[in-house]
Chains A and B, each alone.
Chain A
């Protein structure tokens, strides 16, 4: 098969992808090892229930704070804390590098002097981002299925899959946002900074929503709400939440080429 922008980008990402996988493996193994000592621990439960509401918003996943149960444990530790950080960091890094990184390194000039349509180049970069995040998601899911069974967490593979899909979509939304900002401006640091800031703001908005009524209606703009509010670890796939997340990804992806198709490429 002849190389394309997509396959070339995937090959370039292989090295960093392996490191992300090793990181995920290490964390999931650690969480699996700690779980048996927390299982059914009521005093920890009571401690968390005594936390202020604001803190609970950040810790809980879909309102589930029962850290002694498998679903509660994975929700609070993996899907409401460490998972989004790792997945969003990976997606934002890849997204920001896709166009803006190449442009800042000066390699985009020669790439787009070849008979490659600009928008097509961007879409292939986007496809590479999707491949990488989905691959990370599959790695996470497989490891969680294994650890859940081994440590007796009792969370089904289907529910883990549903939650992982939501996490993938959440990461893709901010990853394609970084790609879009980078493509529009050619500035990698700006793409990273702005999309990470927006991600944190969206998370905070969703976490603090129960505290004030005006926040409670504003939470609907936060992608994190659709990611977690229905607790897919306990309740499985919720089609409408996933559709909202997918729609957000598609909207950002469709916006990405608009400025890029028209602007001047810069040289370092």
Chain B
């Protein structure tokens, strides 16, 4: 079976400035593939390369086994795209706009758009310029799904959606995948990708850091604990605690990664004077910190 997305050595430079470098990965049919990276990592660049909106400097990129340059129209007819930065025709109503999109996709009426709009409770008759950010995002989602594409390319799809709409969106993704269709979803939020995706690629400064099943990633998840002390504790204070790694130290502030039970850490913290304690689920930046640690640990 051919992969839905296949990239090899994919590189894009904007003049001198780096877009993405030497990306190689595959996305299989029927999976939700999370493309995770901080701002400026190259997520939008990768997606726009797939749609032939920008052209690669080198490397190969195929969707559905078709070259994205040579067979771009065929590729685009089977893909649905939600841009990260959505710009719509302000004067049109959602109905006029969706009818235009459907017509250019060779569909009568709104395609599946009518049913989708109802599901998202999107009002179709008010001009787009009068819509809130959340409602615009709904228009963007509906136009991406209305032709029941085999592959969805969603660039940070959940930004601007309120929780209720987010729930509808999650359900929609599940249905799409149940039908054997494929989702490529970019995000800068670790927890979001963990929730939605089957596999995750992490991209950073234009290159892939890792590609893993989300379960593997989840097994490496941890809680970030930031403790502020009255006087800095000794360097080795948290060295040999089970499930605890020290990530960072800034004067009296110590940042720790905690996996599993909290008790040993709490007992150790109690030996010192703790002025403030903050803990939350690790985000992408924390995750990078641990990647760094592991990298330097294995290098030494």
Binding site for B on A (CB under 8 A): 2-5, 8, 12, 105-107, 109-117, 262-265, 267-268
Contacts and interface: CB of A to CB of B under 8 A. Distances in A.
B73 A115 contact: yes
Contacts of B52: 112
A109 B14 contact: no
Contact of A113 (B74, B81, B88): B81
26 contacts: A2-B106, A2-B108, A3-B99, A3-B103, A4-B103, A4-B104, A109-B83, A109-B87, A110-B88, A112-B51, A112-B53, A113-B51, A113-B53, A113-B83, A114-B104, A114-B105, A115-B104, A116-B104, A117-B73, A262-B55, A264-B14, A264-B53, A264-B55, A265-B48, A267-B85, A268-B85
Nearest to A265: B53
B77 interface: yes
B277 interface: no
Main secondary structure of the interface of A (DSSP, over half): loop
Contact of A3 (B53, B91, B100): B100
A110 B108 contact: no
B54 A264 contact: yes
Contact of B103 (A2, A106, A264, A268): A2
B87 A114 contact: no
B88 to A, nearest CB: 7
Interface in B69-127: 72-74, 76-77, 79, 81, 83, 85-89, 91, 99-101, 103-106, 108
A110 B79 CA distance: 12
B71 to A, nearest CB: 11
Contacts of A116: 73, 76, 104
A5 B104 contact: yes
Interface of B: 14, 48, 51-55, 72-74, 76-77, 79, 81, 83, 85-89, 91, 99-101, 103-106, 108, 143
A109 B105 CA distance: 15
Q: Pick from B73, B81, B83, B87 the residue with the most CB of A within 10 Å.
A: B87
A115 B105 contact: yes
Contacts of B143: 110
A106 B99 CA distance: 19
Given A3-B100, A109-B53, A110-B83, A115 B89 contact: no
Nearest to B88: A107
Contacts of A105: 87
B87 A107 contact: yes
B88 A114 contact: no
Contacts of B108: 2
A200 to B, nearest CB: 32
A114 B100 CA distance: 11
